Structure 1
Amino acid sequence: MARITAGVASSHVPLLGVASDQNKDADGYFGPIFEGYEWTREWEKAEKPDVVILVYNDHASAFDMKIIPTFAIGCGERYKPADEGWGPRQVPDVEGHPDLAWHIAQSLILDEFDMTIINEMDVDHGLTVPLTMMYGKVDKWPVKVIPLAVNVVTYPPPSGNRCWALGEAIRRAVESFDGDLNVQIWGTGGMSHQLQGPRAGLINKEWDNRFIDGLIGDSDHLRRIPHIEYLRETGSEGIEMVMWLVMRGALGRNTRLLHRHYHVPCSNTAIGHAVLRPDNGEGFDMTGSDAVHAVAAE
């Protein structure tokens, strides 16, 4: 059967795409950010996932005030980089996995989640920047991607609890797919940041790191954080972190941390990144890619 083997959390700051595209990823400002992803790039080469379910939010590229889906799943064959005002990023098109995507869409809707099904759309930095951070500059993305867009731009966004429950439903959907696939799920966005108003530039390191702590182990307390706490503690754009909870919910009751990275600042934003493994009590496969981290961490 198909199975979710790992979860990845990452900020998707558009400036990181600019830095990579302009070959500034190793300079004094951006270098420390990109260095935190070097372990993950090597790990992904060893893991070789077949499909990534990439949870992100659109930034008025595919959706605008005419249509605002709370949850939307891409079931198409291919997605082009969006023009966000300065031309599309010169990165590869994103190749979808329609068979798995349609299966997930059907399973989620029958599981009482009202999904919007998208067969054609362009994808913006919310999706392409995480791919760049995990794979670097490539002629073709080495993984098929199922885009899963969450509305965290226009009120009302879904609750953390609903996002966590969606992740649980995604896990059930993947495990019921008739095919042997190595699937990862990525939750993107955040961490703390506010881009406008008198609190512009707000960053809350302590809260951010407690949030990453909460992704690890067998606790599900993060799903109960109310919207007002995200707004108060992490700024107006910090609500994007509910998308990390879709990823976390899909990993099951318990997780183990493989890698962690946190850095500020980046364009008035806190950069957070974590790699998690579902922990079913059987431990790590220390002959495989988990061993890479064990050596690197010492």
Structure 2
Amino acid sequence: MAKITASVFTSHVPAIGAAMDLGKTQEDYWKPLFAGYEYSKQWMKDNKPDVVFLVYNDHATAFSLEMIPTFAIGTAAEFTPADEGWGPRPVPKVIGHPDLASHIAQSVIQQDFDLTIVNKMDVDHGLTVPLSLMCGELDPKKDAWPCPVIPFAVNVVQYPVPSGKRCFMLGQAIRKAVESFDEDLNVHIWGTGGMSHQLQGARAGLINREWDNHWLDLMINDPVACANVPHIDYVREAGSEGIELVMWLIARGAMSDVVDGKVVGPLPTVKHRFYHVPASNTAVGHAILENT
């Protein structure tokens, strides 16, 4: 059967992608951030998955205010990097895994989660920046991402947004779906977005190091408590865009220590953890967990 063996968590700041695309990664401002992903790139090579299930949020690229799915799974054979107003990122197109994606959609919907099935969409920086951070800079003319990717878009842009608990429960349903797929596949699940940041209003530029790291501690060591953090705490402590962190709980809920909303097995092994500020006007968090 297919199996989720690891989860990856990372911010997907658009300026990170721009720094890579414009050759600025070794500038004094950016160098410390990219140093935090050197281990991750090697880990990715040493632990190459067959498929990545990548949880991210669309930034009004594939979906506009005219249609806002809460959870949307990409079932296409390929996904083109989106033009977000300044041209598409110079990265390879994303190859999907229609068979596994369709199976996950079927299974998760039968577990009473409503998903929107998307057979054609472009993918923006929310998905391509994490791929670049974990896989390095690739030439779209001659290189490819190391494995197929299933995009899973979550609405954390337009209210109402899903709760952390809902996302945590969804992760468990996704793991059950993957484990019922009749093919021997090594699957990684990635949760992206966050950490603390606010892009507008009187608190624009807000970064809360203490809260971010406490939340990371909870997410890793006490995911049930983390899943029950109320929405207002994200907004108050991590800024209006800090709510993106609920997407990390989908990946955390998919780990093998969580069953029926409880931690019943040994905690996953923390292979890497990194935190850095600032990157543009946001905090960057990152972790890699492996099932024990």
TM over 0.5: yes
Offset at residue 211 of structure 1 (A) = 1.1
Partner SS state of residue 7, structure 1: strand
Q: What's 2:249 paired with?
A: 245
Determine if contact 2:73/2:105 at 8 Å carries over to the other structure. Answer: yes
1:90-141 Cα distance to aligned partner (Å, 9 max, x none): 1100000001000000000000000000010000000000000001112210
Matches within 5 A, 1:90-105: 90-105=90-105
Determine if contact 1:10/1:274 at 8 Å carries over to the other structure. Answer: yes
Q: What's 1:22 paired with?
A: 22
> Are 2:271 and 1:258 equivalent residues in the alignment?
yes
Q: What's 1:161 paired with?
A: 165
1:15 & 1:143 partners in 2: Cα distance? 24
> Are 2:196 and 1:196 equivalent residues in the alignment?
no
Q: What's 1:7 paired with?
A: 7
Matches within 5 A, 1:38-187: 38-138=38-138, 139-187=143-191
TM-score normalised over the length of structure 1: 0.92
Determine if contact 1:216/1:256 at 8 Å carries over to the other structure. Answer: no
Offset at residue 215 of structure 1 (A) = 2.3
Q: What's 1:290 paired with?
A: none
Offset at residue 255 of structure 1 (A) = 1.9
Q: In percent, how many aligned pairs have the same letter? A: 63
Determine if contact 2:223/2:252 at 8 Å carries over to the other structure. Answer: no
Partner SS state of residue 146, structure 1: strand
Determine if contact 2:49/2:186 at 8 Å carries over to the other structure. Answer: yes
Structure 1 residue runs of 4+, over 6 Å off? none
Determine if contact 2:168/2:253 at 8 Å carries over to the other structure. Answer: yes
Determine if contact 1:218/1:255 at 8 Å carries over to the other structure. Answer: no
Partner SS state of residue 72, structure 1: strand
- The gaps in structure 1 that reach 5 residues or longer are 280-298
1:143 & 1:204 partners in 2: Cα distance? 35
Quote the RMSD (CA, aligned, Å): 0.8
1:99 & 1:219 partners in 2: Cα distance? 30
Partner SS state of residue 117, structure 2: strand
CA 1:63–1:92 in 2, change beyond 3 Å: closer, same or farther? same
TM-score normalised over the length of structure 2: 0.94
Offset at residue 217 of structure 1 (A) = 3.2
CA 1:60–1:219 in 2, change beyond 3 Å: closer, same or farther? closer
- The gaps in structure 2 that reach 5 residues or longer are 258-266
Partner SS state of residue 220, structure 1: helix
Offset at residue 219 of structure 1 (A) = 4.3
